[in-house]
Amino acid sequence: MKPTLLTPETMSVKGLDLLKKIQDDFIGLDTKYKLADGTISPRIYLDSTASTLMMGAAFRASKKFLNHYSNTHSLLHFSARISTKTYEWIHNKILDFVEADKNEYTSFFMGSGVTAGMNRVAKTLKRLRPERDIVLVSMMEHHSNDLPHRKHGGKVIHVPLEKNHQMAGKINTQILEKYLEKFSDRINYVSITGLSNVTGIINSINKIAKIVHKYNVYLIVDAAQMAAHVPIKMSGFNDKSKEIDVLLFSGHKTYAPGSPGVIIARKSFLSAIEPEDVGGGMVDKVYPDNYFVTKKFPDREEAGTPNILGAITLGASVHILDTIGMENILEEDKNLIQYTMNELNKYKEIHIYGDTDIKNCPRAGTISFNINGMDHGLVAAILNDYFNIAVRNECFCAHPYVQEMLSATHKKELDDCEFKDNNLSWKMEPWMGMVRISFGIYNNKRDVDILISSIDQIIKNKKKYQEQYCIDNNGDYKHINFKFSSDDFFSLTETIDNEIKIL
Ligand SMILES: Cc1ncc(COP(=O)(O)O)c(C=O)c1O
């Protein structure tokens, strides 16, 4: 049968249709809990920046695959052939998803997210160009795109961000270029986030690549947040300097919990040195005193039996995101962010962190804020206990960035704080942090309306709520009467016992 010709318009409508259908097909959208006031209500999940919910279709696809589950290294029997072919398909799908030229790039999996991959990339690039001792990162990085470079990559320098009315904005290419000029041939690579896990601010990664490559420096993109929110194009430009050298993302933030971390890298980087990890599956021949690493990608980068089942869910979810079209997803996301910011901005008591001028500084997926005079932990606890809204609070593994932005709302506390003590626990300072709301493709305006009316209640009844809480030894806000027991909702032993009973 001849494929029908799709115009960009019909593709987009088809994608939006699929998006509408998929939005209700996530596991955990109707999870209910009993709240502090005794009512039972469905959870509103606003913590997708930490981990997204499981896409139903991807889960069902992986369940079907289990009928054929077998080790991808077995090769010959029927199931092994199905596993191997599917596993290969996923690697190619990932390259298509981020528009990475298959001749130039390979994709491979490791760990459970970006963290393991970033450690690997830092070690690899250091070995590739040991004479270059500096790595540039920005001030908005997650610790997973900072500490691996400090430990393995070299001396890390944090490049300041653009400022708009004193609000931290995106990475500014002019500021970055000053650092590139200053340290020039000492810099091995620049590693930046595509989208901040604190503010949702989006960086122009291809524009940054162009500047970075002028200095013979490599560009790594941490796409832990970007992959599920923004279209990515690693290659295929007329101007090759816009290409991204290495990009990483996490399957558990891409609607496939339990899946591996993903690395997409230039094959030329990897084939120049022996892979960091060695073991089964990545060698052509092993002798007692010698071994020969295979030239084949991605095999040489994936020592040992991979997380096959996780990769299946990841491949399925990425395929669905691709079919919907990431442009469609970004458009919906931006609308929801704009709507939420407009609603939050109606309250003079609320401070949204980072540049809020969306035209100059586009955002997706995430907003962090505080309510004047209330600790982030208290607000997050009330949202959970009284309104069943799951949010994240504290510093989101981005201490330098959060601390810098807190100076807009907590200058006095920061000045008074004894940072001289290196062991100072952030948790012991209950004001040090923010409340973060974050969206997945299953969230909608209704969720935002419920959030806003809950925040409205909190602001209007601050004292009443405050009186219900104390701070425990860990520095966390705890309700004085309401006790939540996770065993009332899920116990693994009980679940297993019931499963065994019905055998
Ligand atoms: C921007 C960013 N980078 C890196 C990471 C680390 O990812 P993972 O926890 O999947 O290793 C996260 C996790 O929240 C993140 O948001």
Residues 306-327 have a mean pLDDT of 97
- Position 6 confidence tier, pLDDT thresholds 50, 70, 90: very low
Q: How sure is the predictor about 419, in pLDDT bands with cuts at 50, 70 and 90?
A: low
Q: Is 142 in the pocket of ligand 1 (CB under 6 A)?
A: yes
Helix (H) or strand (E) holding 54: strand 54-55
Look up residue 74 and give its DSSP letter: T
Q: How confident is the model over 357-372, as pLDDT tens digits?
A: 999 999 999 999 999 9
Q: How far apart are CA 444 and CA 460, in angstroms?
A: 25
Of the chain, the percentage scoring pLDDT greater than 90 comes to 89
Query: How confident is residue 417, by pLDDT bands cut at 50, 70 and 90?
Result: confident
Give the residue among 438, 401, 425, 412 at the shortest CA–CA distance from 171: 401
> pLDDT digits over 372-399, tens only?
999 999 999 999 999 999 999 999 999 9
* CB 259 less than 6 A from any atom of ligand 1: no
User: What per-residue confidence (pLDDT) applies to 425?
Assistant: 57
Where in the chain are all domains bearing CATH 3.90.1150.10? 27-49+325-488
User: d(Cα 197, Cα 364) in Å, to the nearest integer?
Assistant: 10
Nearest to 466 by CA among 455, 454, 477: 477
203 CB within 6 A, ligand 1: no
The residue among 109, 104, 175, 181 whose CA lies nearest residue 140 is: 175
Q: Which of 197, 262, 366 to mutate to test the pocket of ligand 1 (most atoms within 8 A of CB)?
A: 197
Q: Whose CA is nearest to atom 7 of ligand 1?
A: 114
Give the tens place of pLDDT for each residue, 18-64.
999 999 999 999 999 999 999 999 999 999 999 999 999 999 999 99
Whether residue 177 has pLDDT greater than 90: yes
CB 254 less than 6 A from any atom of ligand 1: no
Report the distance separating Cα 120 and Cα 135, nearest Å: 15
Rounded percentage of the chain residues whose pLDDT exceeds 70? 95
pLDDT digits (tens, 9 = 90+) for 252-268: 999 999 999 999 999 99
Distance CA 394, CA 377 (A): 7
What string of DSSP letters covers 299-358?
Answer: GGG--S---HHHHHHHHHHHHHHHHH-HHHHHHHHHHHHHHHHHHHTT-TTEEE-S---T
CATH 3.40.640.10 domain extents, the chain: 62-323
User: Are 389 and 451 in contact, with CB atoms under 8 Å apart?
Assistant: yes
Q: Is the CB of 113 under 6 A from ligand 1?
A: yes
Cα-trace Rg, the chain: 24
Q: What is the mean pLDDT of the chain?
A: 94
Residue 478 in tokens: 């705890």
In the numeric block, which tokens belong to residue 271? 């084939």
178: number of Cβ within 10 Å: 12
Work out whether the CA dihedral 413, 418, 419, 425 comes out positive or negative. negative
Ligand 1 within 6 A of 226 CB? Answer: no
Is the Cβ atom of 225 under 6 angstroms away from ligand 1? yes
Would the pLDDT of 245 be above 90? yes
Residues 6+ apart with CB under 8 A from 42: 29, 30, 31, 32, 388
Q: What is the pLDDT of residue 412?
A: 87
Lowest average pLDDT, out of 77-81, 110-114, 426-430, 455-459, goes to 426-430
CATH number for the domain running over 62-323:
3.40.640.10
For the chain, helix, strand, coil in percent to 5 are: 45, 20, 40
Of 434 and 419, the one with more pLDDT: 434
| 341, 367 Cβ separation under 8 angstroms | yes
Contacts of residue 230, defined as CB under 8 A and 6 or more positions apart, other chains included, come to: 194, 195, 202, 326, 330, 364
Has residue 428 got a pLDDT over 70? no
Q: Do the Cβ atoms of 47 and 438 come closer than 8 Å?
A: yes
Peptide bond into 298 cis (omega under 30): yes
Residue-wise pLDDT tens digits, 64-110: 999 999 999 888 999 999 999 999 999 999 999 999 999 999 999 99
User: With 50 as the cut, is the pLDDT of residue 302 above it?
Assistant: yes
pLDDT of res. 3: 41
What number is the average pLDDT over the span 140-151? Answer: 98
Question: What pLDDT is stored for residue 244 in this prediction?
Answer: 98
Which pLDDT score is estimated for 9?
55
Please state, in angstroms and as integers, the Cα–Cα distance from residue 209 to each residue in 166, 423, 456, following that order.
26, 37, 43
pTM: 0.95
Are residues 195 and 202 in contact, defined by beta-carbon separation less than 8 angstroms? yes
Count of positions (residues) in the chain: 503
CA of 190 to the centre of ligand 1 (A): 17
Write down the pLDDT at residue 426: 55
- The alpha carbon of 36 and the centre of ligand 1 are apart by a number of angstroms equal to 32
pLDDT exceeds 90 at position 11? no
Q: Which CATH architecture has domain 27-49+325-488?
A: Alpha-Beta Complex (3.90)
Residues 333-340 have a mean pLDDT of 97
Strands (E), 179-282: 187-193, 218-222, 246-250, 261-266
Q: With bands split at pLDDT 50, 70 and 90, how would you rate the model's confidence at 427?
A: low
C-alpha of residue 196 to centroid of ligand 1, in Å: 10
What is d(CA 367, CA 196) in angstroms, rounded to the nearest whole number? 10
